[in-house]
A and B are shown apart, each in its own frame.
Chain A
């Protein structure tokens, strides 16, 4: 320790930058600490995949609307959206808990709801600057620039719900990635494909229906599904999914016993 070291606790200080509010600090921490380079690679790879899906649709011999309808259903809403949100949603809280660094946040007077909301917001910001532009670009590349706004809204609402879902899974189970994949492919894709009740609370189906309803005049009607809300109703449904999953995540971390990394 240097000679200048003082063996006392500072009582007051007058210089330096102003400290942010707890909520801002939590969002900042999420952006700085929760998404290291490897995670960013995991985010940007499916975003590049979205552009490839758009290009694949453009080279299809069918009409742009028909080709993009298939690509959007299977590629964009069925793969890119859930996989990117899985990487982000797990990073912002579940990975922090597993790494043993979460006690740093848990051992503070900040409410659990604030912690979860700030972490989710940090993750959503990442999705808004990476995933949503990729989805919009894919729509443009596919030759349907008129559907870009609808895709942006659907992507933003879908990622909000998905990140909430994966934040909740990250607080509930240790093997969060496995459980999240099971929820997406077994729960949403398989069961949601045949059961409207599940599709109505599925971020995958509801984000697709949001796009279908909002881009109705630009080929979106091809994706419409009976018995499932679409357009703005789907956006509201996605917002409700996000709120409920975040509330469950808050309840869960209240009962969490965060461990250190060595345990």
Chain B
């Protein structure tokens, strides 16, 4: 508001000094403060999971999970048994959460069959109709979805590099080829939401690169692509946004840098190989970020509750100790251990 503007007065306010009651319209409400969106949610969600819990007998697969997915590629990350497959099965409607809801394009995927026109799942399991050829499998899926293009099945098989073996029975395929046949069967339905459960399993390095390119292209076309994996670096390459699930709970969400940052501040053991091991150990033990140091020959094992801080302080400590660092590597960097720490 500029200085020349009259001072707004609430209706019914006392009269001005001149004795005249000045009525001004009430001020417009202040613009809502830009509330940062929870990283587990997106503003243009096509898939919304709200408080979803799923259990099978005494085994709990998902616990009060809330998140959403929108156009682009989203990585679903978590160790084996974390609940990724259960979440994906709930998204496509193969199961209904015991509590909470899953909405796909604002519809219930379990009861509204129209959702199936928009969604495609590439399951992780090996179950494919082995008696069919790859071409028959894709044509069957195309026919069920009433996709009209005559050559569409072959183009999809070509997209995943299976056109040359399209008439071979799926039972003779390797795991990677089966996975690609399932991807072709999913693509032929032209889905706006593609759910891929560990799609890179069994693929060789060349195929991985091609499939990652394919998924990114699909995401850039405005499709919602949800890709699960338990391999951190794979998902980093694939998806700008990631959702981490551990033991059925949402553990972290956001872009891969945010997840990396979250992972950096977890306790871990770091192995340092240096000829001046004892001297370096003396310097390290004085640091707040170090919980313990073990020296064995020219090897120092440093235990730290704050790995990120240790990474910053270690070079300086080595400089002060005059120690040449031959090797620095984390000892417990398996994804499972990372996930375990993230959950604490």
Chain A residues packing against B (C-beta within 8 Å): 1-2, 4-22, 24-26, 28-29, 32-33, 36, 99-101, 103-111, 257-263
Question: Which residue of A is nearest B155, CB measured?
Answer: A10
Give the chain B neighbours of A262 by CB distance below 8 A.
124-127
Chain B residues packing against A (C-beta within 8 Å): 85, 92-96, 113-114, 116-117, 119-121, 123-132, 136-137, 139-156, 158-161, 163-164, 180, 185, 187, 190, 206-207, 210-211, 213-214, 216-218, 221
Q: Are A107 and B159 in contact (CB under 8 A)?
A: no
Q: A29-B129, A260-B124 given as contacts; is B158 within 8 A of A9 (CB)? A: no
A8–B213 Cα distance when bound, in Å, is: 9
A4–B159 Cα distance when bound, in Å, is: 8
A80–B207 Cα distance when bound, in Å, is: 51
Shortest CB-to-CB span from B62 to chain A, Å, is 14
Q: Are A25 and B113 in contact (CB under 8 A)?
A: no
**Contact sample, A vs B, 12 pairs, CB 8 Å cutoff:** A1-B211, A5-B158, A6-B158, A13-B155, A15-B150, A16-B150, A19-B142, A32-B131, A101-B127, A107-B120, A109-B144, A111-B113
Q: A15-B151, A16-B150, A262-B126 given as contacts; is B221 within 8 A of A9 (CB)? A: yes
A171–B103 Cα distance when bound, in Å, is: 27
Q: Which of A9, A10, A17, A257 has the most CB of B within 10 A?
A: A9
Give the chain B neighbours of A259 by CB distance below 8 A.
94
Give the chain A neighbours of B95 by CB distance below 8 A.
257
Q: Are B150 and A13 in contact (CB under 8 A)?
A: yes
Give the chain B neighbours of A12 by CB distance below 8 A.
149, 152
A32–B132 Cα distance when bound, in Å, is: 7
Question: Which residue of A is nearest B203, CB measured?
Answer: A1
Give the chain A neighbours of B213 by CB distance below 8 A.
7
Shortest CB-to-CB span from B50 to chain A, Å, is 20
Give the chain A neighbours of B139 by CB distance below 8 A.
19, 25
A244–B161 Cα distance when bound, in Å, is: 46
Question: Which residue of A is nearest B180, CB measured?
Answer: A1
Q: Are B154 and A19 in contact (CB under 8 A)?
A: no
A2–B206 Cα distance when bound, in Å, is: 9
Q: Are A22 and B143 in contact (CB under 8 A)?
A: yes
Please pick, from A8, A19, A109, the residue contacting B159 in the complex, using a CB distance under 8 A: A8
Q: A9-B159, A22-B143 given as contacts; is B128 within 8 A of A101 (CB)? A: yes
A17–B155 Cα distance when bound, in Å, is: 13
Q: Are A109 and B124 in contact (CB under 8 A)?
A: no
Q: Are A104 and B129 in contact (CB under 8 A)?
A: yes
Q: Are A2 and B164 in contact (CB under 8 A)?
A: yes
Shortest CB-to-CB span from A118 to chain B, Å, is 10
Give the chain A neighbours of B96 by CB distance below 8 A.
257
Give the chain B neighbours of A99 by CB distance below 8 A.
127
Question: Which residue of A is nearest B204, CB measured?
Answer: A1
Please pick, from A4, A24, A108, A261, the residue contacting B116 in the complex, using a CB distance under 8 A: A108
Question: Which residue of B is nearest A11, CB measured?
Answer: B190
> 9 closest Cβ contacts across the A-B interface?
A261-B127, A260-B125, A100-B127, A13-B151, A1-B161, A25-B143, A13-B149, A10-B155, A108-B144
